[in-house]
Chain A
């Protein structure tokens, strides 16, 4: 009688606990104008075994440097980070040479400017936010430092429950990839009507994007096929110079900028989890042994 009671209680609480875990971060209901759902990409750094692809990060860095960085800052990215293990892994000589190509502000230097060294942060393209707005039609190009983690994808039920078990953390890069591929030259016919029923009106100087909240984005389509020249590998294989490839590479690079220690974090995680599981097994055996003589 008591046993059966306890069993029901256990089932109830376990079911409740599972529900709590699932509902813990119940996604906010999507606003109607949020647009289509960004498609999940096969990121090399996705899942619990994922690591960054060094070549992809180097290509992404090239896209960032040649295209994005003319408007977007990345004030937490230091030149030295580019040679960190688990990142783009440029050589020290490459990073030193790269830094020398840039100038940074330094109040103690002659004229207030000096060539950069690896310890310096990536110089911002504009002196202030206001200057950045003035140069970009009033819109502020967001800083890249943690941007890939500041964007996310809201999954419908029950996908978001599974995300806790698959450790899906790539909503940011998925959104960035979708955004870069989501431009339309003309406002499409299926664009959402405004609340009073009038057709979609694109404000002057804005661009239509499927994935941007509200669809009117200040940034002109930044990438197109062929705008960045990728170096050929030594064996002659070439990476396609397409919008799809550029956007994937730069989104991966942005994820690395936002989460530079992802690889070492996961490596430590495996050691910790394997230890904990083994330790828990030993603890359980010890507990059983100690309690063996006690009716409980």
Chain B
């Protein structure tokens, strides 16, 4: 991966450093000269936006941790103390809370972009799997972060979700007790979740480094999914994509700032402004919006299957839904990467997107008809898409003819426009 280095140390000091630790050479190769397909559209800026999101969460989180108190008696008021009495605290706290939602907006867009353009296909399977690992780690981090303000939804969300562990046969209860540090959500839970919530972002950052490494081996996929043929298909990452990504980031910060400054609580639940109370159960326990699709799948299995009771069945379904993402490179065997050239795939992909949004909507509804039936239908389609539709389409679909190269497709675009 260092064949495209054009770095020539300019001074004796740079030469000295380059012989010992070639960080400048590395940065020039990977952040400046890296050959990048010239036809990437704006959906490709979300990778850089996600790096920004992680940075924002880490910086605001470190500041919040200086003032936050992980104790059941003090946590709720300490968050209010940050909002009320710390200089700029209201904005820092709101940025962190809204930032979690914005992180997932970018994360889902990034993943759905990969699913449409076939970015998971060879030779990018490891790159995709590392991405799914980042998604799972981020989900865990966000979930534990939501416990920390110690409001009613924090407490009851933790209670409901930690019950997932108790569904595991034989060892379930032991695992649940280990996770919670007791028989129910309490002070030990808050302490360990705070500790892990501080730890996991740095592990995510490490996996992000691997993700980018895995990206820089085969290079970027692109909207037509045709491999880079020669240097006419690419531009150096800097200044072309540094500039485009920076513009994408600034654009993304506009809705981000809108929520932080004008509606910081609209993405949360009013019940989380009530301090956690183990004696009072909220009328509806709703996880944060970004967990809802998987929460719907968890709840959709409300019937026993042979010797598997509904609770374990739900956990298996939810785990399976995530596992589908991990193995999708081997489920979709179509040689054509980009959905642009797959006339049948595009329709099913569109349905999958709508279905995912429906799963999200259903997760916030109460467990009653017609929602329970709809949840089953949508859950079934989710699995059908990965396990049946993608493998079958790969065999029966006739893709449209592919352009021979990125350059040709770019010129074709101009001619039509």
Cα separation A25 to B407 with both chains bound (whole Å) = 43
Contact B273 A150 (CB under 8 A): yes
Residue B411, interface by CB 8 Å: yes
Residue A109, interface by CB 8 Å: no
Q: How many A-B residue pairs have CB under 8 A?
A: 170
CB-CB under 8 A from A295, the residues of chain B are: 38, 407, 410-411, 414
Cα separation A150 to B341 with both chains bound (whole Å) = 50
- Given the known interface contacts A48-B262, A265-B261, the answer about A276 and B416 at a Cβ–Cβ threshold of 8 Å is no
Residue A146, interface by CB 8 Å: yes
CB-CB under 8 A from A21, the residues of chain B are: 105
Cα separation A167 to B255 with both chains bound (whole Å) = 12
Contact B262 A287 (CB under 8 A): no
- Given the known interface contacts A286-B243, A296-B410, the answer about A1 and B400 at a Cβ–Cβ threshold of 8 Å is yes
Contact A280 B353 (CB under 8 A): no
Residue A222, interface by CB 8 Å: no
Contact A290 B91 (CB under 8 A): no
Residue A105, interface by CB 8 Å: no
Closest Cβ of chain B to A126, distance in Å, is 17
Q: How large is the interface on B (under 10, 10 to 19, 20 to 34, 35 or more residues)?
A: 35 or more
Contact A3 B240 (CB under 8 A): no
Residue B267, interface by CB 8 Å: yes
Using an 8 Å CB-CB cutoff, how does the interface string of A244-287 with B read, 1 for contact, 0 for none?
00000000000000101100011011101100110110011011
Contact A294 B240 (CB under 8 A): yes
Count chain A residues whose beta carbon lies closer than 8 angstroms to a beta carbon of B.
Answer: 63
Cα separation A21 to B102 with both chains bound (whole Å) = 10
Contact A280 B357 (CB under 8 A): no
Contact B257 A26 (CB under 8 A): no
Residue B251, interface by CB 8 Å: yes
Cα separation A101 to B91 with both chains bound (whole Å) = 35
Residue of A nearest to B244 (CB): A287
Interface residues of B in 253-305 (CB under 8 A from A): 253-254, 257-258, 260-267, 270-271, 273-274, 283-284, 286, 289, 292
Q: Is the interface of B mostly helix, strand, loop or mixed?
A: helix
Contact B254 A277 (CB under 8 A): yes
CB-CB under 8 A from A291, the residues of chain B are: 240, 243-244
- Given the known interface contacts A28-B366, A150-B273, the answer about A17 and B261 at a Cβ–Cβ threshold of 8 Å is no
Cβ-defined partner of B262 (8 Å) among A27, A167, A280: A167
Residue A8, interface by CB 8 Å: yes
Cβ-defined partner of A266 (8 Å) among B112, B235, B262, B409: B262
Cα separation A273 to B261 with both chains bound (whole Å) = 9
CB-CB under 8 A from B94, the residues of chain A are: 265
Contact A26 B261 (CB under 8 A): no
Closest Cβ of chain B to A80, distance in Å, is 10
Residue B209, interface by CB 8 Å: no
Residue of A nearest to B151 (CB): A150
Contact B91 A265 (CB under 8 A): yes
Closest Cβ of chain A to B35, distance in Å, is 13
Among the 9-residue stretches B52-60, B76-84, B130-138, B317-325, the one with 4 or more Cβ atoms under 8 Å from chain A is: B76-84
Residue B413, interface by CB 8 Å: yes
Contact A269 B261 (CB under 8 A): yes
Contact A25 B414 (CB under 8 A): no
Cα separation A269 to B253 with both chains bound (whole Å) = 12
CB-CB under 8 A from B254, the residues of chain A are: 273, 276-277, 280
Contact A20 B91 (CB under 8 A): no
Interface residues of B in 183-228 (CB under 8 A from A): 223-224
Cα separation A12 to B117 with both chains bound (whole Å) = 14
Residue A191, interface by CB 8 Å: no
Cβ-defined partner of A16 (8 Å) among B239, B266, B289, B357: B357
10 shortest interchain CB distances as A-B pairs? A269-B261, A150-B273, A152-B270, A5-B340, A26-B364, A167-B262, A167-B263, A283-B247, A28-B284, A24-B289
If A13-B109, A152-B270, A286-B243 are given as contacts, then 20 extra A-B residue pairs at C-beta distance below 8 Å, sorted by A number, are A1-B400, A1-B412, A3-B416, A3-B417, A20-B357, A21-B105, A23-B289, A29-B366, A146-B273, A150-B274, A164-B263, A167-B258, A213-B283, A261-B83, A265-B264, A283-B250, A287-B243, A290-B240, A291-B244, A294-B240
12 contacts between A and B (CB under 8 A): A1-B412, A2-B224, A2-B340, A3-B413, A13-B43, A24-B360, A150-B273, A150-B274, A213-B283, A273-B254, A276-B250, A295-B407
- Enumerate chain A interface residues (CB-CB to B < 8 A): 1-3, 5-6, 8-9, 12-13, 16-17, 19-21, 23-29, 31, 48, 76, 142, 145-147, 149-152, 163-164, 167-169, 171-172, 213, 258, 260-261, 265-266, 268-270, 272-273, 276-277, 279-280, 283-284, 286-287, 290-291, 294-296
